[in-house]
Amino acid sequence: MAFLEISDDSDEIDAVLFPDSFARYKYHLEANGIYLGEGNAEERNGRLQFIIKRLKLLK
């Protein structure tokens, strides 16, 4: 499982990779990498969080 902070030019959001997704992508994660992610946005504890289902390294 991994907790991430992701951002673009306009904002930041917390994100999470649950154990099944983390096992699939853990060797592709790198600090400051550029990714395309698919998943769902959920509100938890009053904050928006992105639940990552699929991830593709673009750079």
Domain map (residue ranges) of the chain: 2-57
Q: Which pairs from 48-52 meet CB under 8 Å and 24+ separation? A: 48/13, 48/14, 49/13, 49/14, 49/15, 49/16, 50/6, 50/13, 50/14, 50/15, 50/16, 51/15, 51/16, 51/18, 52/4, 52/15, 52/16, 52/17, 52/21, 52/25
Instruction: Using the predicted structure, report yes or no on whether residue 59 has a pLDDT greater than 80.
Output: no
pLDDT value for 44: 87
pLDDT value for 37: 92
How confident is the model over 2-55, as pLDDT tens digits? Answer: 999 988 899 999 999 999 999 999 998 888 888 999 999 999 889 899 999 999
Does the pTM surpass 0.95? The reply is no
